[in-house]
Amino acid sequence: MAQSADFETLISNALEQPICGWDFAYLRNRVIDQPLSWQYRSLVESRLPQAAAVLDMGTGGDNEHGLNRCLGAPINEEYQHWCLDYARQEAEELGFIVIDAKEEFPEVAFTDVGAIVYYLRMVPWQIPDFSVEKYADALRRMHERIQASGPFVTHGHRFYLELKKP
């Protein structure tokens, strides 16, 4: 979607898109993630042949809080504790040995307000009370900011733990 599209078109297109599982294809080239220093796929593929089980732990609790702040939405405290140190401590308390661990806060750039709306529909825990109607004024301000200054940049929160059972 072109960055110059009008506000109403971006919003209506984002709302018309079906939410289907964990498919972020609609956001391709509209949300740009700074690459991590590791490749999750490579980490998993290199260990998979000898693995008895694999677990994907997801993102950290500080994920994209810039969206909340810019929209004037409260930070969802439910996941705030979820970070590398917390996950490591839980794993060690369960008897696992930590082999490797890494945590990063990569830039995430949203190129238009429609991408923000779609993203917030995909991850409802980011802003649990999100609706276009409730946040219309803030969304319009974000749209104007993106039109004037380029993508809205916030930060993701990613980490991984490689664990071994003793």
- 62-71, pLDDT tens digit by residue? 999 999 999 9
Whether the pLDDT of residue 53 is over 80: the answer is no
Mean pLDDT of 144-152: 97
pLDDT for the residue numbered 1: 46
pTM: 0.88
CB 157 within 8 A of CB 83: yes
Higher per-residue confidence, 131 vs 60: 131
Alpha carbons 48 and 121: distance in angstroms, whole number: 33
Name the token pair of 70. Answer: 């810019």
Whether the pLDDT of residue 118 is over 50: the answer is yes
pLDDT for the residue numbered 48: 81
Nearest to 152 by CA among 59, 68, 75: 68
**Beta-bridge mates of residue 110:** 31, 152
Whether the pLDDT of residue 156 is over 70: the answer is yes
Higher per-residue confidence, 165 vs 129: 129
Whether the pLDDT of residue 56 is over 80: the answer is no
pLDDT for the residue numbered 40: 84
Instruction: Give one DSSP letter per residue of 111-165, joined into a string.
Output: -SHHHHHHHHHH-TTSSTT--TTTTHHHHHHHHHHHHHH--EEEE--EEEEEEE-
Higher per-residue confidence, 39 vs 68: 68
- 21 pLDDT band (50/70/90 cuts)? confident
